[in-house]
């Protein structure tokens, strides 16, 4: 195979991570794949990054994003980190199948470009460093779906495929995802140096994150916390405590966002937690169909450690691991614990705000009954086992069609959905109070409902949709991947031609099993 030693794509590189030194990574070239081809190209993200419309037309780019050559100006490397996996210390891990290419300048600022599946690294352990087409499609689509839902996440620029063989539970073909993120630094990077007693490297890493990513860490989103400024004052004179607090808040808001759309990560190990509060490492994830607080999406998670309802608690557990790692720098145990314990307030308040927005309360309505609506609606959905996405979308339409506080008939579709006697009884008790509180808004119910339709998506990446796209792609037809990319990146639009994609899963999909194998 004639692989060019260097590919000149005219990209402007920065590569800040390489400044940290050789204790943090190993330089290496990607391992080429045979007969590479495009599976899907994310033209929308390319435009956001400032690339020309013909960006993906270059054969050199296909080679570059498949690992079949080194791009001029890039600095390929695999980083080392450690971590806790399923609650147990796993020791040294690292980028076993991911290869950092470098940092490129875009119209959206500086972002890292990484290839997942580009070959074996010093941290692959017994793995082959490859990713399969199946998991690559799931990660590619979910990264962009989460972004469209306004949930912080890494992004995906492309998938390339190959006829190269990969052995998992069965024989599969290889693929490479080009991932984009401000940074791929994880909790596990800090755990690695702290556990090994390398305090100088730990300090260097913390200083690097503080100095280089302060804009991301301090960037506010729509969720404003009541006491955030108060605790921020307590860490003003301790920059490492301030870093921990920022990560605590980012993580709490992130997991509240996950819970609000029924997203299950599946493998919340500390090495899969982003220091910038991004959703990272899409493995056995799932958007819940029938709501169940105890739902487990990863069939390898036999104890249910990462069940949907456990995700908030695991977020705090993981942060305690990070806090322990940063303690040599913070040098104040009480302050460290105080930062960590703020997670509970940050998560609860974020979750309440998001839930009230899903119910249509975008304004501050001062009423003692309003916060009680959230546990009641959750009990109704749980008791019925209602399809999470369909329920909220239907409720949004019902509100938009209702005429006022006494229009109970407008909600017949919800009543029909609730077959469970106790769930229906709770709903009939809930509805008058809900409509009465909505009537206190300055907006009409139609306006409120339309706002809800911009918060409660019609489309999410259900397992059966991904499975259909995967099966077609494995047969050489990539059209379904692009269809899903289209509707998942505009999840609030009606897309009447794709109504079936918003339906609950068919019976055959109940047997789909997702594991960590990728």
List active site positions. Answer: 271
Copy the structure tokens of residue 141.
């689509």
User: Which residues on neighbouring strands pair with residue 105, listed in sequence order?
Assistant: 110
What's the CA angle centered on 101, arms 97 and 103, to 5 degrees? 135
Alpha carbon distances (Å) from 101 to 129, 209, 340, 479, 514: 15, 19, 34, 28, 29
The label of the residue with tokens 């730990």 reads 202
What are the φ and ψ backbone dihedral angles of 111, each rounded to 5 degrees?
-135, 150
In eight-state DSSP terms, residue 7 is B
For residue 89, the surrounding DSSP H or E stretch is strand 88-92
Copy the structure tokens of residue 154.
């890494």
Give the residue among 393, 500, 407 at the shortest CA–CA distance from 455. Answer: 393
User: Which residues on neighbouring strands pair with residue 166, listed in sequence order?
Assistant: 172
The sign of the torsion formed by the CA atoms of 13, 14, 15, 21 equals positive
What are the φ and ψ backbone dihedral angles of 162, each rounded to 5 degrees?
-155, 160
What are the φ and ψ backbone dihedral angles of 201, each rounded to 5 degrees?
-65, -40
Copy the structure tokens of residue 341.
């314990």
Q: Which residues contact 195 (CB under 8 A, 6 or more apart)?
A: 82, 89, 91, 325
Give the residue among 154, 294, 266 at the shortest CA–CA distance from 216. Answer: 154
Q: How far apart are CA 99 and CA 116, in angstroms?
A: 6
Copy the structure tokens of residue 13.
């590189």
Q: How far apart are CA 313 and CA 319, in angstroms?
A: 10
Q: How far apart are CA 206 and CA 11, in angstroms?
A: 28
User: Which residues on neighbouring strands pair with residue 41, listed in sequence order?
Assistant: 158
What are the φ and ψ backbone dihedral angles of 448, each rounded to 5 degrees?
-60, -45
Q: How far apart are CA 150 and CA 142, in angstroms?
A: 12
Contact 435, 466 (CB under 8 A): no
């Amino acid at each position: 195979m004639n692989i060019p030693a260097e590919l000149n794509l005219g990209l402007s590189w920065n590569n800040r991570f390489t400044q940290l030194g050789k204790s943090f990574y190993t330089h290496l070239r990607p391992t080429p794949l045979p007969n590479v081809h495009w599976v899907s190209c994310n033209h929308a993200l390319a435009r956001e990054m400032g690339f020309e419309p013909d960006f993906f037309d270059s054969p050199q780019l296909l080679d570059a994003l498949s690992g079949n050559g080194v791009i001029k100006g890039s600095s390929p490397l695999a980083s080392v980190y450690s971590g806790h996996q399923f609650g147990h210390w796993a020791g040294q891990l690292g980028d076993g199948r991911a290869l950092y290419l470098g940092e490129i300048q875009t119209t959206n600022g500086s972002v890292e470009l990484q290839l997942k599946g580009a070959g074996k690294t010093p941290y692959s352990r017994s793995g082959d460093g490859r990713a399969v087409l199946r998991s690559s499609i799931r990660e590619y689509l979910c990264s962009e779906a989460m972004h469209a839902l306004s949930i912080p996440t890494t992004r995906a620029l492309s998938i390339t495929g190959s006829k190269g063989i990969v052995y998992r539970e069965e024989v599969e073909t290889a693929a490479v995802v080009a991932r984009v993120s401000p940074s791929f630094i994880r909790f596990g990077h800090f755990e690695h140096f702290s556990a090994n007693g390398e305090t100088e490297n730990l300090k260097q890493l913390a200083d690097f994150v503080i100095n280089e990513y302060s804009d991301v860490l301090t960037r506010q989103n729509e969720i404003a916390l009541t006491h955030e400024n108060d605790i921020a004052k307590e860490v003003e004179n301790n920059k490492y405590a301030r870093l921990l607090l920022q990560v605590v808040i980012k993580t709490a808001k992130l997991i509240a966002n996950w819970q609000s759309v029924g997203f299950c990560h599946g493998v919340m190990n500390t090495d899969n937690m982003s220091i910038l509060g991004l959703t990272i490492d899409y493995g056995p994830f799932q958007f819940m169909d029938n709501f169940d607080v105890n739902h487990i999406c990863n069939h390898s998670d036999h104890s249910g450690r990462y069940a949907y309802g456990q995700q908030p608690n695991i977020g705090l557990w993981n942060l305690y691991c990070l806090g322990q790692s940063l303690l040599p720098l913070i040098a104040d145990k009480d302050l460290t614990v105080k930062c960590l314990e703020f997670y509970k307030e940050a998560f609860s308040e974020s979750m309440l705000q998001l839930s009230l927005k899903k119910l249509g309360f975008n304004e501050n309505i001062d009423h003692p009954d309003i916060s009680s609506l959230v546990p009641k609606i959750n009990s109704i959905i749980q008791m019925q086992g209602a399809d999470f996405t369909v329920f909220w979308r239907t409720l949004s339409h019902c509100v938009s069609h209702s005429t006022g506080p006494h229009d109970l008939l407008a909600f017949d579709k919800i009543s029909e959905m609730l077959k469970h006697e106790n769930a229906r009884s709770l709903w009939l008790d809930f509805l008058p109070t809900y409509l009465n509180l909505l009537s206190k808004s300055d907006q009409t119910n139609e306006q409120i409902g339309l706002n809800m339709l911009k918060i409660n998506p019609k489309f999410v990446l259900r397992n059966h949709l991904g499975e259909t796209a995967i099966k077609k792609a494995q047969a050489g037809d990539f059209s379904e991947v692009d269809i899903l990319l289209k509707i998942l990146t505009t999840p609030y639009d009606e897309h009447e031609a794709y109504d079936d994609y918003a339906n609950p899963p068919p019976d055959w999909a109940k047997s789909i099993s997702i594991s960590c194998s990728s």
